[in-house]
């Protein structure tokens, strides 16, 4: 390796000494947030200037009955609302993620449009918080000029500063290959030699694999178990997991840690089938590309907040409404067959983590199986009714309320079932990048694990197109299907009674 590269590596390693507040990403967060607030308040002040009010042809900014030099009693509330809505709408742009200039401008203008619509809607329903139309247009217009420029300038100035690349792995040959593919500067690598028995690496006298010459130019910052600490103290912008397999124990553990630290992740292209990538079309077009960026967060901040609020509201109301049904269902289950009332099952959530799911038991305790599908003989009489009416799913509302699940998302799969399916499809792991849901696009299209390929396609379609309105359509469709099933059960019950009566 050349002296220039060695010098560049040492420079990258020296970044460790900087405090957390001096790192480019944290500086970007602080400056972008402060700038957003200052520019928003400044835009309100500019619009409120008396000369501009007269130019707009109104006697006062907040109503025709207010003189140019005085402010109405509601002015502080209107100002606070306009500032809060605008900051909330544009806050996702404060996330330090490299973007093209056109993308930054487009995202900023789209966020301002959302803020304008929200303020206009509030003003329509509440006159005391109404921002007059000329003032609203001027306010948004000022921000449409200043905010994109501010974010673009920060992107070019702060995020272009060199942040290091960290390689993590358990095989020296793979780590070396990732080093060769990575962009400089490289902070170092995290290495745990747990997969070095089959790499053909030269051994030291102590039996440990010898570090390749090209890898020896960089610093080993610790093992994979210390990744949290490394990301805390090092100026790392990108992590490359050079792992042989995308198993949940190590690979998705690295992804989860990087997600918590808001660090970009790139992978060697051999793993692109098992992860969500930023731009699939680019991957398909450029087969020679060595590194591929992972899409760690398919939803932006506003949609995540809206989705979580919807989940909490739906689960909370659902629990309050259905709680009186829990006791009679529990009694019916105990009278029908031996065994517990609830059925506990380990399922997979975001980034391959596992969590327990509870359902009302609908099968005999000894009838569990890992393979997809079900045998009608294993289902109890009460269980058959619970499944047809979907009442066995009610305890999962608590998992939604506590944040383990979402109302809409890929169906949480049984871990043993997933191991069975993964033997057929490596792409199944792409479902792990979002929270599982009580219902989803696959469910309303009646795609089950028995047809895992169709189910996966529906799940990936949802992940790529998820939004609040898409979730609403899916929930409404699911509710309609449940009501239809209940109507059929009632109709069959009346038909059976009619036949018995005629006999």
Look at 493 and 484; give whichever has higher pLDDT.
484
Check whether 21 has a pLDDT greater than 60. no
How far is 349 from 138, CA to CA, in rounded Å? 46
The percentage of residues in the chain with a pLDDT greater than 70, rounded to a whole number, is: 73
Q: How far is CA 219 from CA 11, 184, 191, 350, 503, in A?
A: 12, 14, 10, 32, 87
pLDDT tens-digit series, residues 89-104: 888 888 777 667 777 8
Q: State the CB neighbour count (10 A cutoff) for residue 95.
A: 15
pLDDT at 406: 92
Check whether 127 has a pLDDT greater than 80. no
- Average the pLDDT over 323-331 and give the result: 91
Residue 158: closest CA among 87, 234, 106, 98? 98
Rg of the chain (C-alpha set):
28
pLDDT band at 132 (very low <50, low <70, confident <90, very high): confident
pLDDT at 22: 63
pLDDT at 419: 74
pLDDT tens-digit series, residues 38-84: 998 888 887 766 444 555 455 544 444 444 333 444 567 787 888 88
Q: Do 126 and 48 share a domain, yes or no?
A: yes
pLDDT band at 200 (very low <50, low <70, confident <90, very high): very low
Residues 6+ apart with CB under 8 A from 223: 190, 191, 192
pLDDT tens-digit series, residues 287-321: 455 677 777 667 776 778 888 889 999 999 999 99
H helix runs in 265-370, sequence order: 280-285, 301-336
> Which of these three, 293, 313, 335, is where a domain ends?
293
> Which of these three, 293, 309, 336, is where a domain ends?
293
Check whether 209 has a pLDDT greater than 60. no
Phi, psi (degrees; rounded to nearest 5) at 369: -150, 150
Q: Is residue 250 part of a domain?
A: yes
Which structural domain, as residue segments, surrounds residue 331? 301-498
pLDDT at 317: 92
Look at 58 and 148; give whichever has higher pLDDT.
148
Could you give the count of Cα atoms lying within 13 Å of 163 in the half-sphere of its Cβ?
Answer: 25
**Encoded tokens for 14:** 């020296």
Contact 183, 245 (CB under 8 A): no
Q: Do 403 and 305 share a domain, yes or no?
A: yes
| CATH at 193 | 3.40.50.20
Could you give the count of Cα atoms lying within 13 Å of 298 in the half-sphere of its Cβ?
Answer: 21
Q: Is residue 4 part of a domain?
A: no
Q: Is residue 503 part of a domain?
A: no
Give the alpha-carbon dihedral of 7, 10, 12, 15, to 10 degrees: -140
Q: Do 434 and 473 share a domain, yes or no?
A: yes
Q: Do 135 and 276 share a domain, yes or no?
A: no
pLDDT at 210: 59
Q: Do 192 and 254 share a domain, yes or no?
A: yes
- Average the pLDDT over 256-282 and give the result: 70
pLDDT at 214: 67
């Amino acid at each position: 390796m050349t002296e220039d590269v060695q010098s560049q590596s040492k420079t990258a390693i020296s970044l460790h000494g900087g405090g957390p507040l001096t790192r480019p990403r944290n500086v970007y967060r602080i400056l972008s947030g402060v700038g957003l607030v200052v520019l928003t308040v400044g835009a309100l002040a500019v619009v409120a200037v008396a000369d501009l009010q007269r130019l707009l042809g109104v006697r006062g900014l907040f109503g025709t009955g207010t003189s140019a030099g005085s402010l109405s009693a509601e002015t502080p509330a209107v100002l606070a609302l306009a500032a809060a809505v605008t900051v909330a709408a544009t806050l996702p742009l404060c996330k330090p993620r490299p973007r093209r200039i056109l993308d930054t401008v487009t995202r900023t203008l789209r966020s301002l449009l959302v803020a304008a619509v929200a303020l206009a809607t509030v003003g329509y329903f509440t006159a005391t918080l109404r921002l007059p139309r000329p003032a609203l247009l001027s306010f948004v217009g000022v921000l449409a000029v200043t905010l994109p420029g501010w974010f673009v300038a920060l992107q070019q100035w702060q995020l272009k500063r060199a942040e290091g690349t960290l390689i993590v792995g358990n095989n020296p040959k793979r780590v070396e290959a990732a080093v060769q593919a990575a962009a400089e500067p490289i902070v170092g690598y995290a290495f745990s030699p747990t997969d070095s028995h089959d790499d053909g690496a030269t051994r030291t006298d102590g039996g440990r694999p010898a570090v390749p010459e090209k890898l020896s130019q960089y610093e080993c910052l610790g093992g994979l178990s210390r990744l949290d600490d490394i990301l805390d103290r090092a100026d790392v912008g990108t992590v490359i997991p050079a792992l042989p397999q995308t198993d949940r124990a190590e690979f998705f553990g690295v992804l989860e840690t990087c997600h918590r630290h808001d660090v970009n992740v790139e992978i060697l292209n051999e793993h692109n089938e098992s992860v969500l990538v930023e731009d699939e079309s680019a991957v398909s077009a450029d087969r020679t590309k060595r590194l591929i960026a992972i899409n760690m967060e398919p939803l932006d901040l506003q949609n995540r907040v809206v989705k979580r609020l919807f989940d909490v509201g739906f689960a909370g109301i659902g629990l309050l409404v259905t709680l009186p049904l829990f006791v009679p269902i529990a009694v019916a289950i105990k009278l029908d067959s031996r065994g517990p009332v609830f059925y506990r099952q380990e399922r997979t959530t975001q980034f391959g983590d596992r969590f327990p799911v509870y359902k009302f038991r609908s099968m005999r305790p000894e009838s569990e199986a890992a393979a997809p599908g079900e045998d009608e003989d294993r289902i109890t009489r009460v269980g058959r009714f619970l499944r047809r009416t979907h009442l066995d799913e009610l305890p999962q509302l608590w998992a939604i309320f506590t944040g383990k699940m979402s109302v809409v998302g890929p169906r949480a799969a049984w871990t043993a079932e997933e191991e069975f399916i993964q033997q057929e499809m490596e792409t199944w792991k792409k479902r792990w990048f979002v929270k599982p849901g009580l219902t989803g696009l696959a469910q309303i299209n009646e795609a089950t694990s028995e047809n895992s390929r169709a189910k996966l396609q529906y799940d990936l379609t949802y992940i790529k197109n998820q939004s609040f309105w898409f979730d609403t359509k899916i929930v409404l469709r699911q509710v309609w299907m449940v009501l239809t099933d209940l109507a059929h059960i009632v109709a069959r019950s009346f038909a059976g009674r009619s036949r018995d009566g005629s006999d």
